Structure 1
Amino acid sequence: MASDPAFALPSSWPAMSLAKAQALLTAPGQPFEMTTATIRGVETRVWKNAPPSLRALIDASRGHGDRLMTIYEDERISYDANHRATAALAAHLSNLGVGKGDRVALAMRNLPEWPVAFFAIVSMGAIAVPLNAWWTGEELAYGLRDSGARVLIADGERHHRLGEHYSDLPELEQALVSRATTPLEGNAGRLEAVIGTPHDWARLPSAELPEAAIEPGDGAALFYTSGTTGAPKGALLTHRNLCTNILSGAYNSARSFLRRGEGIPAPSPRVVLTVIPLFHVTACSAGMMPAIAAGNTVIFMRRWDTVRAMEIIERERVNITGGVPTIAWQLIEHPDRARYDLSSLEAIAYGGAPSAPELAQRIYAEFGALPGNGWGMTETCATVTGHAGEDYLARPTSCGPAVPVADLQIRADDGTTVLPPGTVGELWARGPMIAAGYWRRPEASAETFVDGWVRTGDLARLDEEGFCFIVDRAKDMVIRGGENIYSIEVENVLYAHPAVTDCAVIGLPHRSWGEEPAAVVHLAPGETASEAELQAFVAARLAAFKVPVAICFVTDTLPRNANGKIMKKDLKALFADRVEAAA
């Protein structure tokens, strides 16, 4: 239970056990009925009523008609207009020779063109490759090379970053650029020449998507996640992976009503403010897919700004927002919050970064909205567990129990022995949301994906009821506001500086971002370098969110264990003042 008496839950809660709620919701004939499917040779529980493919999902969305699908500044796009643009772009890609299994990269900020491009690609059986819009030109070029993308759909800013790299991408045949502000050259053309601007989409011809035979297990998207080698790996997600979240998210919501002792209300569209990037599975899979299925209106912002967000919430009567804990904290703590009517908010949900236990309570107390979080990773296509409402208030340090189609186990270091409840070990997960593997990385795939399970690298425990508690990460990773920063990637850049002979990157706690990267550096004898110099060196080579916020210089080489591995836990004491300030 939450320790604050102001959040004491009624004695009648929970009105129903988890087991009984699951039995009722998944019974034959119910919306969350399950069946089994053979996935890569393993019999797996799946949602019986999940869409068979993303093509089926976007085709069904036409039934939402004139209801607004996306809003971006003064651009208001209906579901019908979105489908018209999607069909037109899919036809164009088909005419370019793009076919099933071909990769088409997508590099842009959250814009109405993003879902149009994504569904145009996947609806014809091609594989979408959403690239991190915060990446540098070299990082974007890496994603294009590694995926072997034939076509790139980008906004003007990402296209500009890639300018000097296009000559090194022989497999890339064409770039379609949206909102370009400079003349385009070579194989680059304007996306508007194909589908017009968002204001034009409602006037495009109503057309069917190009013919394509798509199975649930076919590849749909490559989402890049960094690895311990420092080079990002593409997790191949299938149509089934991405469609599973539609039912998983709805199940978590329905379970909350039953636990509260209430009936499940009839579905009704909601207004969602999406402020996290669609190139992450949290926004794309756990957010956009259920939103489209429900006919929700999704609002995009050019960049996060708390005042601007509160203006949008008030004007558009936003019901749901969140994404990462940072968003919730900034809404709660803004000094002008009382000036805005935020009473339409029903839920603030987040994941992807550590969060303080008090956050759930603050959301409930100050907005009257229900908090929500969950656990997942790129390799699980986001949602594996769900945690909302009173369950979250009662266990604010948990990420919730697994959804019914998923299984969790805590295993010992041998990777085989299953540990009992309450014991900390490595978290393993399986279910229809688990990625097919890493793109062109058979050895890494074999190490991570084992007999239908994914070994997550997270250290966790399960309680007697199945609630999961993430206690640490075995992977050497910092998560800043939902962005994964693998230490070795930053360390490799620091090592490239001529003055650096030893270094380590660690995560420091941050109240809003969850964590921030910091570095400990040992310089070569006779060499000098300042904190600002090394930060600029990293910033010139990696995305801004990966730059260490603080660098501590030490006179000796870094402490190592008997195996030669740097003992990073001992390094946090060097930043004690900063850690104490963040507490």
Structure 2
Amino acid sequence: MAFPQDLLDSLRRAPDAIAFEHGDRRVRRGEVLDLIGRFAAGLRAAGVRPGDGVGIATGVTPEGWAAQIAAQTLGARAVGVREGLPPAHLAAVLDGLVAVVTDAERPELAGVPTLPIGPELLAAYEEPVPCGRPEDLGWVVFTSGSTGVPKGVTYRFDALAEFRLEQRGPVPEGEYRRFLLFGTLSSAVMVLHLQACLLAGGTAVIPEGLPDFPWILPRLDITAALVTVPRLYRILDVLREEKVDLSGLRTLTVAGSPVEPGLLAEGFERIGPALRQGYGQTETGKLTVLDTADVAKYPETIASVGYPVDGVSLEVRDASGRAVPAGVSGEVFARTARSFAGYWRDPAQSGTVLADGWVRTQDVGRLDERGFLYLTGRSRDVVIVNAVIHYTGPIERALAAHRDVDQAYVVAVPDERTGEAAHAFVVAAPGRTPDPAELRTAVAAELGEAAVPASFAVLAEVPVADSGKPDKAALRALAR
């Protein structure tokens, strides 16, 4: 089935059901379908053709999502354009676009014409019929650019047709009855969950203003939500001090980076079976899930990131590219029909990640005999001290295991004496005061003296990037 035919069919089946809710506003599924048809007609009239690139520079609105689906219906390449991008990043995102859909009148963006949402763009209507060929690019999702200019992760239409909510088994009925939609429509994982909600007949609930976790969940009767690790930690901070009724929550997926095992165990205890940890990448979609049932059956898996979801194969390989047995660490490779097609206009980088249908995740880990994945670091997330490589992941875990530490992050910074030096930042556990001498001892005991960071700093909270992940670029700046 050509993408996005399944979404169009889902909207047609129940035209009077509510698709989006934002405060007092209710948008029915039939109205969303009408919006898609009007955007398709408006984009075609503006000269958009199959294979063209169309930017979506809107807030989190029904119109923004409808514009994206309309562009893809025409066989065009939809590209999310986030607010506040620095000029170099914006230029990379706008590269190759013929137009950008915007919320309101605004001048062209770096020479690319803008199409404001309004009566002129939405005047006509055409029945939306998917035109994209399976081998054509239908979506480009740009990374945060925390390591330089953002990379454009491209998806072909045949991969988009396979984009479902990756689970182990079918999605339970009612799980996505009310999904909390916030952040940005340029997030692949957020859009994936939104589409899962709509395909399941649910309602996407858009909060007014920034979501105040965890109180927003019962207040808006949310059954499904997606959070990053720093936001989970803030939720736990609240739940330690007061009771919040989360009994209506069916699934709270935490993604973006692994959760420290002790805090994940606390999350399972305080939030319950709705909490699950997901591991994946923009390039692959979700790869594994860990839930309370896994840990109840196999307690040691609390230190893992879970078991592969349906349609995913994982291998751990050594430096020569050979698969290694269970229990042996190496680089994690993934294979899935949902994987990306390559990086936008960067065949060299694409070639280092894609090989024979497999995606090189650049994460280091091991599989146990049951198939659960344990991450031990990132092949890129290293610090090289006196020509010796140290993965930052194990150092962070050694610090996070200390009783006085709630969160730990380690970054590499150039050093005149050693080439690079590791610098550690920790967030204190409630009511505790980390002692740098004790932290040094803890790392040395776990990993040896050579792995001990050159400095330690205690932060009230970790800076967070636009992607919702810990902002290691900001931490490197602090270290300097």
TM-score range, shorter chain: 0.7 to 0.9
Equivalences for 1:222-237 in 2 at 5 Å?
A: 222-225=140-143, 230-237=148-155
- 1:324 deviates by 1.2
| Alpha-carbon separation, structure 1, partners of 2:23 and 2:147 | 40
SS for the counterpart of 1:379 is coil
- Assess, with a 3 A threshold, how the Cα gap between structure 1 residues 443 and 368 changes in structure 2: closer, same or farther: closer
Give the alignment partner of residue 239 of structure 1, picking from 147, 153, 157: 157
Equivalent residue for 1:107? 57
Q: 1:430 is matched with which residue: 327, 335, 339?
A: 335
Deviation at 1:91, TM superposition (A): 0.8
* Contact 1:278–1:284, Cα closer than 8 Å, also in 2: yes
Contact 1:225 1:232 in 2 (8 A): yes
Asked whether the 8 Å contact 1:281–1:378 carries over to 2, the reply is: yes
Q: CA deviation at 1:228?
A: 9.9
Change in 2 beyond 3 A, CA 1:581/1:344: closer
Question: Which residue of structure 1 lines up, in the alignment, with residue 132 of structure 2?
Answer: 214
Residue of structure 2 in register with 1:37 after alignment: none
Aligned to 1:400: 306
User: Is 2:130 the counterpart of 1:191?
Assistant: no
| Equivalent residues of 1:325, 1:513 under 8 A apart | no
Which residue of the other structure, out of 2, 25, 30, is the alignment partner of 1:80? Answer: 30
- Against the structure 1 CA distance between its residues 81 and 575, is the aligned structure 2 distance closer, same or farther, given a 3 Å change threshold? farther
Alignment match, 1:326:
230
Deviations 1:91-140 (A, max 9, x none): 10011111111100112332222211111111111010113335234422
Match of 1:351 among 239, 252, 255: 255
SS at match of 2:10: helix
How do 1:471-482 and structure 2 match up within 5 A?
471-476=376-381
Work out whether residues 271 and 297 of structure 1, in 8 Å CA contact, stay in contact via their aligned partners in 2: yes
Output one character per residue of 1:317-367: Cα deviation in whole Å (capped at 9) or x when no partner: 111123212333323322798475432112211111231223443333323
Instruction: Tell me which amino acid in the other structure corresponds to 1:319.
Output: T
* Correspondence for 2:456: 576
* 1:411 and 1:419 in contact (8 A); partners too: yes
1:518-537 matches, within 5 Å, as 520=413
Amino acid at match of 2:418: P
Residue 93 of structure 2 corresponds to residue 154 of structure 1: no
Alpha-carbon contact 1:243-1:289 (below 8 Å) kept: no
Q: Is the 8 A contact 2:315 2:333 kept in 1?
A: yes
**Equivalent residue, structure 2, for 1:62:** 12
Asked if the contact 1:131–1:223 (Cα under 8 Å) also holds between the matched residues in 2, the reply is no
Partner of 1:458: 363
Q: TM-score under structure 1 normalisation?
A: 0.64
Counterpart code for 1:151: A
Alignment check: 8 A CA contact 1:107 1:152 kept: yes
Aligned to 1:390: 293
Tell me if the contact between 1:276 and 1:323 (Cα under 8 Å) persists in the aligned partners. no
CA deviation after TM superposition for structure 1 residue 571, in Å: 8.7
Superposition RMSD in Å:
3.5
Partner Cα separation in structure 2 for residue 58 and residue 269 of structure 1: 18
Aligned to 1:370: 274
Aligned to 1:546: none
Q: 1:335/1:408 Cα in 2 relative to 1: closer, same or farther (>3 Å)?
A: closer
Distance 1:405-1:114 versus aligned 2 partners, 3 A rule: same
Say if 1:216 and 1:238, in contact at 8 Å, map to a contact too: yes
**Aligned residues between the structures:** 418
2:318 maps to which residue? 412
Aligned counterpart, 1:300:
206
Secondary structure at the aligned position of 2:376 is classed as strand
Letter paired with 2:379: A
1:288 aligned to which of 191, 194, 204: 194
3-state SS of paired residue (1:578): strand
3-state SS in 2 of match to 1:456: strand
Change (3 A) 1:363 1:320: farther
Aligned residue identity for 2:3: S
What residue number does 1:7 align with?
none
Q: Is the 8 A contact 1:55 1:119 kept in 2?
A: no
Larger deviation, residues 100-109 vs 461-470? 100-109
Aligned counterparts of 1:369 and 1:581: Cα–Cα separation in 2: 27
CA–CA separation in structure 2 for the residues paired with 1:475 and 1:114? 34
In the alignment, structure 2 segments of 5+ residues that lack a partner are 384-391, 424-449, 463-480
Aligned-partner Cα distance in 1 for 2:204–2:160: 18
Give, in angstroms, the shift of residue 87 of structure 1.
Answer: 1.0
* CA contact 1:409–1:427 (8 Å) conserved in 2: yes
- 3-state SS of 2:42 partner: helix
Other-structure match for 1:552: none
Task: Give, as a single letter, the amino acid of the residue that structure 2 aligns with 1:557.
Answer: E
Q: Partners of 1:513 and 1:87 in 2: how far apart? A: 49
The residue type paired with residue 191 of structure 2 is C
Contact residue 52 and residue 243 of structure 1 kept, 8 A? yes
By how many angstroms is 1:206 displaced? 7.7
Code of the aligned partner of 2:100: L
Partners of 1:321 and 1:288 in 2: CA distance: 10
Structure 2 distance, partners of 1:76, 1:572, is 55
Contact kept, 8 Å, 2:190 with 2:226, in 1: the verdict is: no
Distance 1:473 1:579 in 2: 24
What TM-score, normalized to structure 2? 0.76
Give the helix-richer structure, 1 or 2. Answer: 1
* Residue pair 1:322, 1:328 contacting (<8 A) in 2 also: no
Please tell me the residue identity of whatever aligns with 1:214: G
Distance in 2 (alpha carbons) for counterparts of 1:208 and 1:269:
28
State the secondary structure of the residue aligned to 1:410: strand
> Aligned residue for 1:314?
218
The answer for the alignment partner of 1:93 in structure 2 is 43
Name 2:349's counterpart in structure 1. Answer: 444
Question: C-alpha displacement at 1:465, in angstroms?
Answer: 1.1
The letter for the 2-side match of 1:355 is V
Q: Measured at CA, do residues 73 and 119 of structure 1 come closer, stay the same or move farther in structure 2, by a change above 3 Å?
A: same
Letter aligned with residue 154 of structure 1:
T
**Maintained 8 Å contact 1:360/1:371:** no
Is 1:559 aligned to 2:464, yes or no? Answer: no
Distance (Å, rounded) in 1 between the aligned partners of 2:93 and 2:130: 26
SS at match of 1:409: strand
Q: Percent identity?
A: 25
C-alpha contact (below 8 Å) 1:222/1:236 kept by paired residues: yes
Contact preservation (8 Å) 1:275, 1:322: no
CA separation in 2, counterparts of 1:581 and 1:326?
9
Greater RCO, CA 8 A, separation 6+: 1
SS of alignment partner, residue 232 of structure 1: coil
Q: Which residue of 1 aligns with 2:186?
A: 279
Per the TM alignment, residue 226 of structure 1 is displaced from its structure 2 partner at its CA by 6.3
Give the AA of the match of 2:306: G
Structure 1 pair 514–116 and aligned structure 2 pair: CA distance change class (3 A): farther
